[in-house]
Amino acid sequence: KRHKFWETQPVGQYKDVGDASLTEGPIEPPTPLSEVKQEPYNLPSAYEWTTCDMDSSETCDEVYVLLKNNYVEDDENMFRFNYSKEFLRWALRVPGYYRSWHIGVRAKTSKKLVAFISGVPARIRVNEEVVKMAEINFLCVHKKLRSKRLAPVMIKEVTRRVHLENIWQAAYTAGVVLPTPITTCQYWHRSLNPKKLIDVGFSRLGARMTMSRTIKLYKLPDSPVTPGFRKMELRDVPAVTRLLRNYLSQFVVAPDFDENDVEHWLLPNENVVDSFLVESPGNHEITDFCSFYTLPSSILGNQNYSTLKAAYSYYNVSTKTPLTQLMNDVLIVAKQKDFDVFNALDVMHNESFLKELKFGPGDGQLHYYLYNYRIRNALKPSGLGLVLL
Ligand SMILES: COc1cccc(CC(=N)NC(=O)c2cccnc2OC2CCNCC2)c1
């Protein structure tokens, strides 16, 4: 499929794949700040740019409602992501964020928010290079304004505003194939509430399986089995940062988290992110860590249920407890917290526990992209240490 817009951008092009002469690093050099376009790109005349101040509960609510009604759906249009307001505030007001990167589009007459795109700053390591990047997310155009070519101009506008802050690279994911993924991940689901998942059509009853047999298959203990397994607390930030930095150093692409980042991204935040660790009962050493974020989905067109409560695997580190046992404890806690399903990508070492813990493969793929940065060797999902929201 031709990518009219993406063929004009500094991203890996299909023709470059396998060209050993191309080195790893930026595709284009930075532009002198004086040469960066100072004024916003032009929108169709009926629309205007707006900066979404997520501190404002009113604006945060507008972004929430736009995404709730118009953001990503699964391939069969049965579910739509329903990020909560507190999740959006967490995802957008990150250490060192720029409010100008929270970009909305309003209809001039009604002032209705009809589109959104966001960027947040992140330090991402690619092999040995730590690169300042923008993580781009939540690109959403109202269903009624699709194919008005708004997305390309919104991508150019967020790129312009990122350039104004002297940042020249970005990271993003998509369910669609664009030029050119750095890797392509499979997603997997572990049923926690199989009856509801089958009722809403997320899962199907297995062949020769009864409902009661299925419920029994996915049953979990009432509480975690690992001694010293507990919720993360503020006092654990230094130790978790050390543990996580060391663990992530083995992957080709991974965030370069410092204590400030760990405090924001991994400290428990109710209904947003949950994190646990294993503290050795003897010497109080923190040997393992696990976390998941909360991303419900609206269930489109089901009489009995309106929301699918889903947990998404985030960052997990095992140095003493076997990863499979650690992740089983995470499933136990997620079930305790009434999640219906636990989702994971086949990134990092996740593949080692997926089958044993009864995850089933999802019906789609998630592609990861870098903007204006070429990676020398193709990456397997197991080489990726970056989880985006
Ligand atoms: C169950 O409700 C859904 C509602 C909308 C889309 C999908 C399928 C899908 N596209 N899933 C994922 O992208 C996915 C599956 C497993 C883990 N992380 C994921 O995506 C994350 C990361 C990228 N941004 C969205 C959330 C499912």
Tens digits of per-residue pLDDT, 237-247? 999 999 999 99
Tens digits of per-residue pLDDT, 355-366? 999 999 999 999
Share of the chain above pLDDT 70, in %: 100
How far is the centre of ligand 1, averaged over its atoms, from the C-alpha of 286 (Å)? 31
Model confidence at 15, pLDDT cuts 50, 70, 90, reads confident
Model confidence at 378, pLDDT cuts 50, 70, 90, reads confident
What integer pLDDT is reported at residue 1 of this predicted model? Answer: 57
With CA atoms as reference, report the closest residue to 119 among 141, 140, 142, 102: 102
Q: Using alpha carbons, list the distances in angstroms from residue 358 to 29, 100, 191.
A: 47, 43, 8
Please give the backbone phi and psi of residue 104, each rounded to the nearest 5 degrees, phi first.
-115, 165
Mean pLDDT of 250-274: 98
Mean pLDDT of 97-115: 98
* Neighbour count for residue 348 (Cβ, 10 Å): 25
Active-site annotation holder among 113, 197, 326, 389: 389
Amino acid at 143: K
129-141/113-126 β-pairing:
antiparallel
Mean of per-residue pLDDT scores for the chain: 97
Cα separation, 52 vs 37, in Å, equals 21
**Side-chain-facing half-sphere of 117: CA atoms under 13 Å:** 21
How far is the centre of ligand 1, averaged over its atoms, from the C-alpha of 292 (Å)? 14
pLDDT of residue 186 exceeding 90: yes
Cα separation, 363 vs 266, in Å, equals 29
Query: How would you classify residue 221: left for phi > 0, otherwise alpha for psi between -120 and 50, otherwise beta?
Result: beta
Residue whose Cα lies nearest atom 26 of ligand 1: it is 389
Active site residue 244: no
The conformation of residue 135, written as its DSSP 8-state character, comes to E
Q: What is the ipTM of this complex?
A: 0.98
Mean pLDDT of 122-151: 97
Cα separation, 284 vs 281, in Å, equals 6
pLDDT of residue 265 exceeding 90: yes
312 Cα nearest atom in ligand 1: 17
Q: What is the pTM of this model?
A: 0.97
